[in-house]
Amino acid sequence: MKRVVITGLGAITPLGNTVTEFWENIVAGKSGAAPITKFDSSKFKTQFACEVKNFHPEEFLEKKEIRKYDLFTQYAIAASDQAIQDAGLDFAQMSEAERYEVGVIWGTGNGGIGTFEEQLREFHSGDGTPRFNPFFIPKMIVDIAAGVISIRHKLYGPNYCTVSACASSNTAIISAFDTIRMGKASIMVAGGSEAAITESSVGGFSSAQALSKRNDHPETASRPFDQDRDGFVMGEGAGALILEELEHAVKRGARIYAEMVGGGMAGDAYHLTGTSSNGLGAALGMEKALRDAQLTPNQIDYINAHATSTGIGDLSELNGVKKVFDAVPVTISATKSMTGHLLGAAGAVESIISVMAVKEDIIPPTINTQNLDPAIPEGLELVLNKSISKPLHYVLNNTFGFGGHTASSIFKKYTD
């Protein structure tokens, strides 16, 4: 099978709207959490989130286009445009036949939930006559970001959306990886976006007792592995990666960040929203990724954990890690302590972190963890409070979603 490399990155996040700014803040251990500004949250039990700051869609889109697209699609366009430019790709200069070999796979969990809320409010505030915006459906449906990226750049290769809750964008990246190595495309734009800091989304997760309620100190609320963790902090944004067949990338002189060498997906088959305490689903996904990459556990230098700062979820994942890695010392950190949980975009944003980590030999920290949960399995090396420098050859990125979806991807330091 063909080898696949990463040649471009793009990010719209609570910690910066470029990869450079985002990575600098991640390494510095900054938090993106603050009081919610998108709506009046005073009546909600949770009144904070990790919002994207200083996002100006007019920098990427014309005014008439902005009206056509939900915020999750605007984030997708901004991140994918960045990644395409970063990869040194000019699709306008490619022949139509070349663009037949370029595709888009984009993940999201909630799609245009903001548009859905807005339209229903307008309907119920009127006289009952069913008047809806003609762009209501195309703004709302989850596949539209993938479609818009394809249309925007005239890309005729495989084009679809992956929806596996919080594993959605990692699933998209693994799918893009498989597409290229099987020879079905030469370049894929892959990633995910989410814009779910809305009343219904925050209210729904809050009612499910999933969100932290540390309203007085939001910047310290996301605290994976801490015995006092009380739920995740919602985030938003987008991450985009350009995956490219190695020979194609080398031929055009592309800069290569890292090589992708494996991906594993599995089902926890346990519960609607929870994960099995023994970590079976997490373990299966990681084992499949290792087999796919033809690696042994002792070759993985760092795991970017899914760890959302929920009681059951954090322990479940670490139990899964313990199953797979057993006595092998493996270094782990949870970057959601800084970004919050970007839901369907989490896997893409954390893939960017994983790629930058293996490129720069830096492991970002888990911040806010002051008192380790005594139930955490022994023998795991957790990076707390400060980044560390360490030679990295292979990095594994975990994501899990409601419904038992698990996805693990592996990135390798690229050498000629």
The continuous run of DSSP H or E covering 264 comes out as strand 258-267
Comparing CA positions, the residue from 318, 261, 268, 330 lying closest to residue 291 is 261
Angle at 224 between CA 221 and CA 230, to 5 degrees: 50
Q: Where would I find the H helices in 252-345?
A: 280-293, 311-325, 336-339
User: b/e per residue, 2-13, with b = 16+ CB within 10 A?
Assistant: ebbbbbbbbbbb
Are 330 and 381 within 8 A, CB to CB? yes
CA 21 to chain CA centroid, Å, is: 17
Comparing CA positions, the residue from 235, 364, 373 lying closest to residue 308 is 235
Comparing CA positions, the residue from 401, 4, 349 lying closest to residue 179 is 4
Cα separation, 79 vs 91, whole angstroms: 16
DSSP for 228-249 reads T---B-BB-EEEEEEEEEHHHH
Q: Would you state the structure tokens that stand for residue 211, as one six-digit string?
A: 């969100």
Length of the chain: 416
Which residues are tagged catalytic? 166
Instruction: Give the number of other CB atoms < 10 A from CB of residue 14.
Output: 28
Q: 241 φ, ψ to 5°?
A: -125, 140
Q: Where would I find the H helices in 43-184?
A: 63-68, 71-86, 96-99, 113-125, 136-140, 144-153, 168-181
384 beta partners: 366
Comparing CA positions, the residue from 378, 382, 368 lying closest to residue 305 is 382
Q: How many CA atoms lie within 13 A of 320 on its CB side?
A: 32
Q: Where would I find the H helices in 208-273?
A: 246-251
Instruction: Give the number of other CB atoms < 10 A from CB of residue 122.
Output: 13
Pairing of strands 388-389, 258-267: unpaired
